[in-house]
Amino acid sequence: MIFDTKRHPKTELFLRKAVRELSQADPVLAGLIRQVGPCKLGMRRRNGYFRSLVEAILYQQLTAKAAESILARFRALYPSRSFPTAEGIDRTPGSQLRAAGISSQKISYLKDLSRLTLNGSFPLRRVSLLEDEEVIRHLCQVKGIGRWTAEMFMIFTLGRPDVLPASDLGIQKAVQRLYGMKTLPSPQALEHFGERWKPYRSVAAWYLWAGTDGNALGRPQPPAP
């Protein structure tokens, strides 16, 4: 598991090892790693799991700028909280959420996530104990959460080290450009291609995002609906 560098010294050691072994295994990726610099992956505390899923839903199919604007208006509905709780979202009328710029479809997703969390049928605390594919199955119980969103959660929230979001458009484009492919690789082709990056595919994915258009932060791009 990848630990938050601010709280656990093992994170930096792990990432150094991952970068070293990826560079040895793939000379092309090694060039990108040198260009981008140190990897900045980490994970959130367990009480941030609900927040991560809410943000993932809000960001779906939007540019980062548009999503950040909606997220700010959404959070402003709950001024007494650092971030809205499941109970708070469940009690908020849909009209208020729509006024914050959230689509009716995403409102239904947020309500579903909140209700499942409140009634105990979606226990987020146990997610960190599950294997990767079990995490995906567990999260996909919620409306609006598919495999891509679950993979983002595993990489950026749980800190799982070996996840390759093969349907991510940003990664597909980066691989096509970096490796001189004539066509965009399919998810299946990318899964096969990414075997060379095991067991550090999350780190490889971060570098592929970070190297896209010189974006050192790395911005995942969900598959088209």
Under the banding of pLDDT at 50, 70 and 90, the label for residue 222 is low
Question: Domain of 151?
Answer: 46-156
Domain count, the chain: 2
pTM above threshold 0.85: no
Instruction: Indicate if the pLDDT at residue 50 is higher than 50.
Output: yes
* pLDDT value of residue 124: 85
Q: Is residue 137 located within the same domain as residue 178? A: no
Alpha-carbon distance of 27 to 113, in angstroms, equals 43
Q: Among 156, 177, 193, where does a domain finish?
A: 156
The residue that leads in pLDDT, 64 or 225, is 64
Q: Are 97 and 20 contained in the same domain?
A: no
Percent of the chain with pLDDT over 70: 87
Burial of 24 (0-12, 13-18, 19+ CB in 10 A): exposed
**DSSP state for residue 223 in the 8-state scheme:** P
Residue 50 and residue 33 share a domain: no
What is the spatial distance between Cα 59 and Cα 145, in angstroms, rounded to a whole number? 12
Residue 26 among the catalytic residues: no
- Reference 207, options 166, 181, 169, 174; nearest CA is 174
pLDDT for the residue numbered 200:
97
d(CA 150, CA 70) in angstroms, rounded, equals 21
Tell me the per-residue pLDDT of 107-119, one tens digit each, with 9 for 90 and over: 999 999 999 999 9
Where does a domain end: 131, 156, 181? Answer: 156
Looking at the structure, tell me whether residues 50 and 151 fall in a common domain.
Answer: yes
